[in-house]
Amino acid sequence: MTVEPKLLEVQRVSIILIIFTVVSLKILDLNLTPPKVTKKDLQIDINTASKKQLTKVPYIGNKTADKIIGIRNSSGKIDNIYKLKEIRNFNKFKYYIKVE
């Protein structure tokens, strides 16, 4: 049984390239895993958010943002998101907001 020299050479080169790639990644220490983002990281603080930031939240449009800002201005600070429960779509946008 004979093995073709070209096939052996291709296998050798392939193994060398694989080893080189693995060693290079270890040396560069690339963080190839995406950062862990929690739901809490995506929430915005309704006490500090501007109208523009509020309108980027799903289910909050200009009118809803104005209502939130109005409640915030009249009470000074919103200490619980459930103060907004009378606002339309509250049950939909409550997952995207927080108070700190």
> Does the structure show a pLDDT above 80 at 21?
yes
Please compute the mean of the pLDDT values over residues 12-20 and round it to a whole number: 92
How many Cα atoms within 13 Å fall on the side-chain side of residue 80? 3
Q: Are strands 97-98 and 44-45 parallel, antiparallel or unpaired?
A: parallel
pLDDT at position 23 is: 83
Q: Evaluate whether residue 11 is within a structural domain.
A: no
86 within a domain of the structure (yes/no): yes
- Mind spelling out the 3-state secondary structure of the chain? CCCCHHHHHHHHHHHHHHHHHHHHHHHHCCCCCCCCCCHHHHCEECCCCCHHHHHCCCCCCHHHHHHHHHHHHHHCCCCCHHHHCCCCCHHHHHHHEECC
- Flag whether 46 is in a domain: yes
Query: What are the pLDDT digits (tens) for 29-86?
Result: 666 676 776 777 789 999 999 999 999 998 999 999 999 999 999 988 899 999 999 9
How many structural domains does the chain have? 1
Residue 29 lies in a domain: no
72 located within any domain? yes
pLDDT in tens, 85-95: 999 999 999 99
Residue-level pLDDT at 84: 92
pLDDT of 55 reads 92
